[in-house]
Structure 1
Amino acid sequence: MRYVGFTFLALLAWLLLVQPAHASVANAPGANLEVSLITYGPGETYWERFGHDAIELRDSVSGEAINFNYGVFDFNEANFFLNFARGRMHYLMDADPSAYDERFYVESGRSVTRQRLAFTAGQAAALRDFLLWNLRPENAGYHYDYYVDNCTTRVRDALDKALGGILKTQLDARPGGMTYRQQTVRLMSAQPWLMLVLDLGLGPYADRPLNAWQESFLPEVLQTRLREASVSNGHGGRQPLVQNERLVSPNRLEVPPPSAPDLRLPLTLAGLLVGGSIVATRRWWPIGYVLLATVYLLSAGFVGLVLLVLWTLTSHHAAWANANLLLFSPLAFLLLPALWRSRRGLAASRFTDGVIAVQLLAVMIAVLLHLLPGTVQQNQPWLLFALPCWLTLASGMRRR
């Protein structure tokens, strides 16, 4: 995906449609059209970590090639960040000459791979007509969803539509390799803090088993799965959908790991470190204990508030019903006054004991929910982090 101003995009789309150079692709017979999937490797910026792709249509007579992609957004759009927070992202379709489009990624150090696809003349013409229709200003926009309606699923769906649905039929029958959470954590692992924030914010939706069609929301997965697809050869047999594949430009950036990192050990150690520090400072450095516990309670309360807002007030369905809300709750804010009163030697009230009991009960429920058969959300790392923190805080704050 790329950031491009809307005004420039609209002008570019109009020029592509009316200039003679684009007319050769727009008017070429289907037999002259070559269809390829262009896959770009992940970039360095967070919104580039998932990679990108485009459909290339090439006129074999004139040599002209146009790339169609669905990954354009604009930071300057009205209420952009508010819409982002609410889960109502607005994206656009774009079209560029292939050479211009690929040069951008080559200069950025991102890999470029071209897969030429076995489309019949009728399928190629149908795909071209659909893409040109989709490029019109009234049709170019869509509401972006990270997992089910993004720049790659739009490319995948356009290819499948032109192929008569055979791509979905074949990929639906094959299991996926990872869940949404695993793919997200894997691709964001080069930016650890953002990776942790995303993992913390994802609910059970992100842990459902996926088939190959669903997992093809990622460019590299779609690229791999197309190699397994087959189409009719026109003579009663089958042939691979990918006729040939060529690495146009190698990747010069850090490559994401093949699997998601296991966060259980590092977060367990972090939880034990925070819990141990709370115990140690309470015994030997009371003001340090109050400050450390304040930081934890503020953080837990803020995280819980954000998780609650994501569930109740936004369209981020991947964050709904997040069991981490039992571990990090706005209830933490209610413990702050008692914590600071304890600095003056004042005992905790019955109200404070009640809040602590409710929070510990919530933590125990989160543990039990995870142990029950059929549990979907995989939040073991955050259970292992929160448990020692809350136990040591409860031990220090309860009324004696």
Structure 2
Amino acid sequence: MRRLVLCSLLILFVLLSNTAPAQNDSSCPLRISVLTCSPGQELYSLFGHSALRIVDLAKHTDIIYNWGTFEGYGEPDFYLKFMRGKLRYFVSPDKLDDFMYEYQYDGRSVTEQILDLSCEDKLRIKHAVDSNMLPQNRFYKYDFTFDNCTTRIRDIIAQNTASLNLPDSLVPAGTTFRNMLYFYLDRGSQPWSKLGIDILLGSKLDKVVTTSQAMFLPEYLMAAIDLSTRDNKTLTGNKRQLLPAQPYGEMKGIYEPLLIIFAVCLLFFTLSLAKSSTAKRLTRIIDSLLLYLTGLLGFLLLFMWFFTDHAACADNYNLLWALPPNLIIAFSNKQKQSVRSYFKLTSIVLLLTITLWLWLPQQLNIAILPLAVYLLYRYIAHAGFSFQKKPQG
């Protein structure tokens, strides 16, 4: 009986010993980590960057996979492809030292999160990356908010990690894509870039983000990994800083566009009230110039909406003040009845836009408001209304 018990225990010990390596990650030669690079000073680097690091101890390899590379300036029709959203991005391998050089030079921090994964998960992720490196899979159509260098890493980890539990939320309830971009634009003191983004990108930026969508920005993917769990364990097995953090400077000039546009519009308004022939001629020139510029901008917004693959440029409510027909009206006789009728119609459109400014489906930049008010004033004047009292008698 004793021998039977001893034999049973011995067999059980052997079985447990044979199955242990499949569950013990220390036996797996792969180490997978996410690298998060802090934002830089320039607009192209303002939102940070993400990359995937795979170390294979068996093959003695250490490779950084970067989904943020794109076809070079020497490619045919580079600028046209960039403008139309048809520039192809692709995943490229890199050595750690070469990858780190740029961030060290720019004074940007790099944080590494080594993922606590089973060997099976690591192998699946490695296989997914290898498959993505194949020529037929390597290229993809970049989309800043929905398909970028960070969301690619998010998807590879989420789709190849068993029993992964993502955090319930990463941002306060009601946060939109535009709110998230504003944080970085304000912190990086980029008010004019913020104005440009608000003009070019439409109402899709004002959709409330889900937890998964919030990970389109590198620092939010890093936060999500810290808060995620797998088999009741944190997904981040070890976290370390490969390059030190650079302190952010003071936020400055946030309201600069608003103040400058308001001052210019006030100057135009004052000039329009003057009775001298020079002032009247200058006002006519300014009117034609504003009509030309807003019309030209309107056609650009239509082009970005309908003739490019930039999904975020669709449904742009800036077309309520940047009216494409203005480009034609700029060179028309302002005294013609048809032109006056046009100004009456645009006056109604612009008046409604200004009245409903805070309730539009798209958050328009506040710096545009003084311009919209001045345009309304000039549209009403061209429509045949006068702001001056007629003499009595």
TM-score range, shorter chain: 0.7 to 0.9
Query: C-alpha displacement at 1:96, in angstroms?
Result: 1.3
Q: 2:169 aligns with which of 137, 156, 174?
A: 174
Aligned to 2:8: none
Equivalent residue of 2:296, what SS? helix
Q: 2:379 aligns with which of 389, 394, 400?
A: 394
Structure 2 unaligned spans of 5+: 1-24, 386-393
Distance 1:30 1:65, change over 3 A: farther
Deviates more, 1:265-274 or 1:382-391: 265-274
Letter in 1 for 2:366: P
Contact 1:109/1:253 (8 A) holds in 2: no
Q: 1:130 aligns with which of 121, 128, 131?
A: 128
Contact 1:31/1:121 (8 A) holds in 2: yes
Letter in 2 for 1:239: K
Q: 1:381 aligns with which of 342, 348, 366?
A: 366
Deviates more, 1:144-153 or 1:49-58: 49-58
State how far apart, in whole Å, the 1-side matches of 2:209 and 2:62 are.
34
Query: C-alpha displacement at 1:370, in angstroms?
Result: 4.7
Aligned to 1:5: none
- Spell out the pairing of 1:1-400 with structure 2 (5 A cutoff): 31-60=28-57, 64-73=61-70, 74-164=72-162, 166=164, 170-171=166-167, 173-174=168-169, 176-177=171-172, 178-189=175-186, 190-232=189-231, 238-252=232-246, 254=248, 269-270=259-260, 272-284=262-274, 285-337=279-331, 348-367=335-354, 370=357, 375-379=360-364, 381=366, 384-399=369-384
Aligned length: 352
State how far apart, in whole Å, the 2-side matches of 1:366 and 1:134 are.
47
Deviates more, 1:30-39 or 1:201-210: 30-39
Contact 2:262/2:370 (8 A) holds in 1: yes
State how far apart, in whole Å, the 2-side matches of 1:311 and 1:30 are.
52
Letter in 2 for 1:276: L
Contact 1:30/1:123 (8 A) holds in 2: no
Contact 1:327/1:386 (8 A) holds in 2: no
Contact 2:344/2:383 (8 A) holds in 1: no
Distance 1:391 1:72, change over 3 A: same
State how far apart, in whole Å, the 1-side matches of 2:224 and 2:26 are.
29
Aligned to 1:21: none
Contact 2:191/2:256 (8 A) holds in 1: no
State how far apart, in whole Å, the 2-side matches of 1:243 and 1:216 are.
20
Deviates more, 1:57-66 or 1:209-218: 57-66
TM-score, normalised by the number of residues in structure 1: 0.79
Distance 1:220 1:108, change over 3 A: same
State how far apart, in whole Å, the 2-side matches of 1:144 and 1:247 are.
28
Task: Give a deviation string over 1:219-246, Cα, whole Å, max 9, x none.
Answer: 11101111111111xxxxx111112211
Deviates more, 1:151-160 or 1:54-63: 54-63
Aligned to 1:344: none
Letter in 1 for 2:311: H
Contact 1:51/1:220 (8 A) holds in 2: yes
Distance 1:262 1:362, change over 3 A: farther
Contact 1:42/1:51 (8 A) holds in 2: yes
Query: C-alpha displacement at 1:247, in angstroms?
Result: 1.4
Contact 2:344/2:380 (8 A) holds in 1: no
Q: Identity over aligned residues, as a percent?
A: 24
TM-score, normalised by the number of residues in structure 2: 0.80
Equivalent residue of 2:158, what SS? helix
Contact 1:72/1:91 (8 A) holds in 2: yes
Letter in 1 for 2:300: V
Task: Give a deviation string over 1:302-360, Cα, whole Å, max 9, x none.
Answer: 1111111122222222121211101110232344346xx7xxxxx83322321211211
Letter in 2 for 1:42: P
Query: C-alpha displacement at 1:76, in angstroms?
Result: 2.1
State how far apart, in whole Å, the 1-side matches of 2:103 and 2:262 are.
44
Deviates more, 1:241-250 or 1:191-200: 191-200
Contact 2:293/2:327 (8 A) holds in 1: no
State how far apart, in whole Å, the 1-side matches of 2:27 and 2:250 are.
38
Distance 1:46 1:348, change over 3 A: same
Larger Rg: 2
State how far apart, in whole Å, the 1-side matches of 2:346 and 2:318 are.
12
Task: Give a deviation string over 1:364-396, Cα, whole Å, max 9, x none.
Answer: 343465565xx5311262662343212321244
Equivalent residue of 1:91, what SS? strand
Structure 1 unaligned spans of 5+: 1-27, 233-237, 342-346
Equivalent residue of 2:330, what SS? helix
Task: Give a deviation string over 1:177-201, Cα, whole Å, max 9, x none.
Answer: 4422223333344343332111111
Distance 1:266 1:49, change over 3 A: closer
Letter in 2 for 1:69: N
Letter in 1 for 2:265: G
Task: Give a deviation string over 1:244-263, Cα, whole Å, max 9, x none.
Answer: 21111124475696xxx997
